[in-house]
Amino acid sequence: MARLRIGILSAAHVHAPAYLALLARMEDVALAGVWDEDPVLARERAHAVGTVAAATPAGLLAESDAIVIAGVNRDHRALAEQAAAAGVHVLCEKPLATSAADARAIIDACRRAGVLLMTAFPSPWNSVVEALISAVREGQVGEVVSLEGVNTGEMPDVHGAWFVDPALAGGGAVTDHVVHLADLYRRIVRSEVVEVYAVANRILQEGFDRVETGGLVALRFRNGVFATIDCSWSKPRSWPTWGGLSIEVLGTGGAIAADAFRQRLDLWGRREDGASWRSFGSDANAAMLRAFVDAVRTGGEPPVTGEDGLRAVEIVEAAYRSIATGAPVRLDPPG
């Protein structure tokens, strides 16, 4: 079987090195190369896994069957449209876009070109999250009444200054951290969000005032389930890792809670190194990439679609409207 040629189209995202390392280990995948508008970064990322740094997006697309877009949020639409025009399948980092209009444009471009589009939400492949969803499906908590989720982290500027640049990222903590739980909630309750209420501030993390650093988002689903998301960049610089994701589901017959990153070892090194968490067990990123490769090979629908990415962006957009007006915002999603 011929190996699937996959390239990394822009590598500014913190997940880009992990994606490259995982793809390089797949026996049925051949890395086509890395392109980034910063040629030094492209060469660094490419050298780490023994592939090439492409001079232009067009040059990389010409050598690729599929592409992983791991650039700044603002560029997702332009890069996805280039890939679609070249007939190349797309796995796009979250959020799918910085606006619902751009997310729809990405979906339309890929649909017209007949290429697969998948949004990079790895959490559905986390084994702890999978177990929680299975328990809910089996009725172990009765009828779901509410969900409470936390997706907090450190200030992401340590991974890239663009994360706290509203022009490049599209927003702050709300943009960065709401989408994962919004997608998981839709999978857990199998319903769509119809109302969003959100508050945010910039009092966390002194010295950052261009984007919100703290936020709380409340969601109401069509089936009556109520949910909240703490999306704050609230962890101190000394925290062992970038953050975490946890969910608690309350039902008429009980409750179930999951910490997606509990599979870890706590490590204390030299005093100057501080503490760190070393993960083990399931690798959600690896499983997500495997699902993308398999979908491209079979021509089937990916487990996380462009429409899933769009729904999450619509929720984020509604959250910002709510923050601006101080009032709940109605949504009218399909289905």
Enumerate the domain spans of the chain. 4-115, 123-282+313-330
d(CA 312, CA 279) in angstroms, rounded, equals 27
Q: Which structure tokens are listed for 66?
A: 């599929």
Looking at residue 22, what is its pLDDT?
Answer: 97
Q: Which has the closest alpha carbon to 100: 292, 321, 304, 288? A: 321
d(CA 163, CA 167) in angstroms, rounded, equals 10
Q: Which structure tokens are listed for 140?
A: 């172990």
d(CA 271, CA 328) in angstroms, rounded, equals 47
Looking at residue 278, what is its pLDDT?
Answer: 65
Looking at residue 206, what is its pLDDT?
Answer: 81
Looking at residue 282, what is its pLDDT?
Answer: 75
Looking at residue 106, what is its pLDDT?
Answer: 98
CATH 3.30.360.10: does it fit domain 123-282+313-330? yes
Looking at residue 271, what is its pLDDT?
Answer: 56
pLDDT along the chain (335 residues), means of 10: 93 95 97 97 97 97 98 98 98 98 98 98 93 93 96 91 96 97 97 98 87 97 98 87 88 92 67 64 90 96 97 98 98 89
Torsion of CA 126, 131, 132, 134, to 10 degrees: 120
Q: Model-level pTM?
A: 0.93
Looking at residue 240, what is its pLDDT?
Answer: 76
- Say which residues have a Cβ less than 8 Å from residue 47's Cβ, sequence separation at least 6: 53
Looking at residue 277, what is its pLDDT?
Answer: 63
C-beta separation of 23 from 9 below 8 A: no
d(CA 180, CA 134) in angstroms, rounded, equals 18
The domains spanning 4-115 and 123-282+313-330 adopt the same CATH topology? no
Length of the chain: 335
Q: Do strands 66-69 and 4-9 pair parallel, antiparallel, or not at all (unpaired)?
A: parallel
Run of H or E including 30: strand 29-35
- Say which residues have a Cβ less than 8 Å from residue 315's Cβ, sequence separation at least 6: 178, 179, 182, 193, 196, 217, 219, 331
CATH of 4-115, one of 3.10.180.10, 3.50.30.40, 3.20.20.450, 3.40.50.720: 3.40.50.720
Looking at residue 23, what is its pLDDT?
Answer: 97
Looking at residue 34, what is its pLDDT?
Answer: 98
Q: How far apart are the first and last CA of the chain?
A: 39
DSSP code of 223? T
DSSP code of 201? E
